[in-house]
Structures are given as structure tokens and as C-alpha cells.
Amino acid sequence: MIHEAMFYEKLAENEVQCNLCAHRCRVRPGKRGICGVRENCEGSLFSLVYGGVANEDVANIEQKPFYHYYPGSTAYSVGTIGCNFRCRHCQNWRLSRAAPEDAFLGTLSPSQLVMQAKMAGCQSVSWTYNEPTVWYEYTYEGARLAKEEGLGTSYVTNGYITPEALENIAPYLDAFSVDIKGFSEAFYREICGAKLAPVLETSRLAKELGIHVEVVNLVIPTHNDSPDEIRELSRWVYENLGKDTPLHFNRFHPHYEMKHLPPTPINTLDRARSIAIEEGMRFVYIGNVPGHPHENTYCPECGSLLIARGFFEVQEYNISPDKTCPKCGETIPITGEYRKSSGMI
């Protein structure tokens, strides 16, 4: 599982600089970057988790969440350990905080990954559960092989990858579910141990590179839920990613170091959605609230129900084969075709 890293440069006295994510860690010999899974070994940088899988399953694409990318399809989903953020509310902290020497990791080569995805009848491969950037070398090779075999590919990401690394994988990466965790530098500094600006830069670049982008914002009470912040986020997405970009406002549930907070009130999520629509966004969703009507896709022109969802599964699909509303003819921006899933999550 040890593999020489991509995107680093050698410095004086055997120090290296990792250029894979926006932290651009300078790593001394025998030390690791912020992600915890990239180590300087005698002046060269190595990934410690290449092909080391901590979680692996077949999931509905809506679980990522992707609502406008091959609706109803399944994705072969894999994750490892490590993360370049330090989110106090992390839902997968047992993976993100684990050290390679302490974790139980299965081994799955890129070619095995692609083979298993095809055998499972999946439309795509998704790198998820932890931050996919931290095992970039594995995701890059896996994405390249997946595309050769006709499979789609996606990252579920915090968006901290550097422009040069994103541009390198972009020809093999179809979809990007990016978590814009808040819309202030203070939130990113205090809650995530990172910066907002690189996330915005990456999100904009992904769109420019032709990658399908959906934006997720986990709304945390008292931290990033003010109407002004929601409005600024929505306006930024409208102006930089486009009005048809799916925007997901997800409900927070207490986790990790933020168990003292309550779950997000439903009316806060409803308000966030209303603000985003006021700012011109046409496809705004509420997530982590089973049965909420705004899990569904409606025609922004006539209001017709186009895609009904429940429990991360498409239950009804009413978009015409030419990707228009069957009632009014409005074009609906869906990447790929509807694939009726087997109901696996």
C-alpha cells in the first residue's frame, strides 16, 4: 500500500513540499502531512494508503448526494483513512482520524476496483467516506481505468485539491460533489482547520473543466446558518457555478466534537432553500430529512414533479427522454441517463 506520491517537490535537507492539496505541507524526513497518510521517507514523499480500502460498498448515487448525475444508478463506493481537514462535526471521524499503522485496511488494486464495479452492475465508481484527495494516486489510476471500461467516476470531496492536481485528473473525473461547509473564513478556520478561498477556487475550476458539480452545505445551528451567510453562499454559486447547479442544504445531526448542538431545525433548512431560490437557484434540495418534499426535483418553470425520491432512492422518474419537462417542455439539466436501481444503499 506504499506508493510514491504525485505532486510534490524536493527541498533542501531532504525536506519535501506536497502540492496535492491547498495546505501545501512542507514535510520533514520521517514526518507526515496534515492528512496523516503521506510521509517523507528519506527525501521522497510516499502515500501510505495506495489501494488500502477501509470502506467498500454499492450505493445509490443519490446517497453521495448526486441528484442530477445518472439518477437512479448505483456507484461502487470506496474510501480509505485520513483527511486534510479537522472538522469538529465529522461524521466519519473514525476513518478521517485513523493512522495507517492502527487501521485495518483491505487491499483493492485499481483494476480490481473497476472489475468489481462492473460485476456489481454499477454505472460508476465513487471515492467517498473520507477525503478522496488524500489517496490521489489510487483515485487517479482507478479513474483512468474506469473510463477505459465505460464507467463513470466521482469524487465526494471537501474541495481542497490544488488546481494542478484537479486539472490532471479532470479528463477521467465526471462528477464532483463538493462540500462548501460554510461561507466565512472564520468558520473554516475554527471548525475545519482550513480556508474557504481554495474550496471556492476548486469548485469554480471543476465547473470550467467540464466536471458535473453539485454543492452540499451542512447547515449547523449557530455556526453557519445565518440568513446572510446562506444568501452569500447561494449568490456565489449562482454567479460562479450557474443557476442550474444542484444545491443541497443538509440537516446537521450531532457528531464527534459537536454533540452539544441540536439537530438543524427543519424550518431553518426551509428558509435556506427559500433564500437560494430568491437568489436565482433553480434546483435546491433539502437533505438528511427523510420524506421531505424538497428531496424531489420539480420543474422550475411549471412546478411539475419530475423526480420523486425517498431514502436515497428514485421512486418516480417523469423527465422526458430528451431531458425536458413532459408538461411544459422546459429543459432539465441531467447528466447521463436515468438508471433504475436495484434499491441498494
Question: Residues within the annotated binding site?
Answer: 83, 87, 90
Q: How many CA within 13 A on the CB side of residue 186?
A: 3
Q: Quick one: 235 exposed, middle or buried, by C-beta within 10 A (0-12, 13-18, 19+)? A: middle
> Which residues in 111-159 belong to E strands, given as ranges?
124-127, 152-157
**How many angstroms separate the CA atoms of 340 and 345, rounded?**
13
Provide the annotated binding site for [4Fe-4S] cluster.
83, 87, 90
d(CA 33, CA 26): 7
Comparing CA positions, the residue from 272, 294, 291 lying closest to residue 283 is 294
DSSP secondary structure string, 198-214? HHHHHHHHHHHTT-EEE
Cα separation, 273 vs 38, in Å, equals: 39
Question: Residues 286, 309: contact at Cβ < 8 Å?
Answer: no
Q: Collapsing DSSP states into helix, strand and coil, what is residue 166? A: helix
* Closest to 131 in 3D by CA, of 186, 174, 93: 93
